[in-house]
Amino acid sequence: MASLPDARILRKIFKAYGLLSLTQVVVQFILDRLRTRRMYRMLRGVPMAAMPPLGFMGNIPHMVQQLRRIHAFRDEISRGFGVCWTRGILGDDQSVFLLVRDPACIRHFLKDAFAKYTKPFQNRDIMAMYFHEWLGDGIFSARHGPTAPDGGRLWSIQRKIAAHIFSRTNFTNFMQDVFQSKADRLCAVLSEASLKSKGQAVDMQSLFFKFTMDSVMSIFFGEKTDLIGGQSNLYGQAFDEAHECLIRYVFSSLPFNKVTSFLPWPFGGWNGLSWRLHAALSPTCRRFRAARQTLDAEAYRLIRNCRADPNLSQRRDLLALFVQSKENFSDGFLRDVVLSFVIAGRDTTACLLSWMFYALATNPDVQAELCREVDEKLVRKDQDQDQLPGWRSLSHTEMPFLHGVLYETLRLWPPVPVDLKQATEDDVLPDGTPVPRNAKVVFIPYAMGRDPANYPDPEAFRPQRWIPFVAPAPHEFPVFQAGPRICLGMDMAIFEAKLVAATLLRRFRFELQEGQAELITYGYKLTMNVCNDLGQEKESDHLWLVATPRGP
């Protein structure tokens, strides 16, 4: 029988581990301190964001405290500056943020110097790490540029394959048919609800998310669903659960995870034992991972069905394009593609529609004017059937007020209210602002859209601002990003939202349920959904509107 090591050997082992651990912590602290001192020196002439003094934890306590109004807070601390900066934990080179509102500077890092600015490093940034756990190497989390593990090849391939489905031919044929059939189904559900209980409010945001999910399942994955009609929506519910829990966990655990990142191996670091234990004990993180398992199971089911489809070569959906690609993608990678395009096609457009109808319900004069335009352009009084809304009839030249309503909604409530890139090398912005390597440049569409220097009376909902329509430069209105990573589905989302709005407004008028006006705010997610109760553990994402059939 082997003898146990005596106490002297154990003491030597622990002593050696303690010495190595101390050395690791000291060396890491010195290296981080040197890196951040260099960054702080480079930013010495750049104005600090207008926020209370920063202690050791930097802006983290303020951000956590302001989480319920985080977008308005970012607007307040950056207003009046073209570029300003703030930081997280003192000495953390991953917590230096430049808040950028200058369009020329945004153009620089989104387009002109594209290769120098990419997604944050997944092994050093908590949000990027969990985002990667959720969406893997899909198009949203894949890094581009020379510092990406594959040089940006995966991102480039996904973009190239996906571009095939966003052609004008697809818009005017396949996509229009899907959107119109789903919009008609939505009208039927609203009519049935109105007949059952006159004046009863319905949750329009829930219906818009079901509408976009039904459309995504058909266009992207070749599956027919009827979530609008009451079919089980476990996939959508799991997606919302994962999304909300990820954001809540990351923000609530920031102080703990930042501090413990300095602990020695194997306790510290982004994937150390302390972090793993914290995640395992966190109810929010457990909910996130349980929801992710549901998403994985459904994604793999879609992939299996697609691979086994005898008519695969005739399919026109996005997943079929990836399955038939010469790249011979693995099921694991296809799972990442599925989840990434769900958030691209479902969440963003559903958020846009929800805020659009909130704006119409709270601005009855705007709704009345839009109904007049819809009636004039689409209702045929001398024929049995109305004209169906199409690509040409919904254009800004044919229906300028509808186009104005949509862009005014995007201005005030952009579906992605904030985004960022990380500098992979030292750089200088067009206004002379130095950008240290590893600094994160943050652009804030929510704040830019509410800047009185760009939009007089910015809080007012005035579609007339956009008539006659002059398309804003992407870097001046970065709702859909700009440069090589500009949103592939931008035209699809605009067309889809217009078609749904026109279809619904031909048949219904909408009012906000009494008592809801003072409750409406935005939620915690990366996409800006309507929320009517933030709650402590789980937010309530309802938009209660009364849909009343319009008279003949």
Tokens 């994604």 -> residue: 299
Q: Give the residue from 110, 125, 129, 132 showing the smallest Cα distance to 340.
A: 132
- Residue/partner pairs of 263-272 with CB below 8 Å, 24 or more apart: 263/25, 264/20, 264/21, 264/22, 264/24, 264/25, 265/21, 265/24, 268/25, 270/123, 270/124, 270/126, 270/129, 271/123, 271/129
Q: What's the rounded Cα separation, in Å, for the pair 457 and 152?
A: 42
> Partners of 509 in the beta sheet?
548
Q: What's the rounded Cα separation, in Å, for the pair 252 and 282?
A: 10
Pick out the residues of the known binding site for heme.
487
Chain-centre distance for alpha carbon 301:
25
| Amino acid (one-letter) located at 480 | F
Q: What's the rounded Cα separation, in Å, for the pair 525 and 508?
A: 30
Q: What's the rounded Cα separation, in Å, for the pair 255 and 251?
A: 8
Would you call 339 helix, strand, or coil by DSSP? Answer: helix
Give phi and psi for 87, each to the nearest 5: -140, 160
Cβ contacts of 360 within 8 Å, gap of 6 or more: 366, 367, 370, 405, 505, 510
Q: Give the residue from 548, 518, 524 showing the smallest Cα distance to 536.
A: 524
Report which secondary-structure segment, H or E, holds 144.
none
Q: What's the rounded Cα separation, in Å, for the pair 192 and 91?
A: 60
Pick out the residues of the known binding site.
487
DSSP structure string for 178-245: HHHHHHHHHHHHHHHHHHHSTT-EEEHHHHHHHHHHHHHHHHTT-----TTTT---HHHHHHHHHHHH
Q: Tokens for 157, please give them.
A: 């391939």
Give the chain's largest Cα–Cα span. 100
Bridging pattern class, strands 117-118 and 419-423: antiparallel
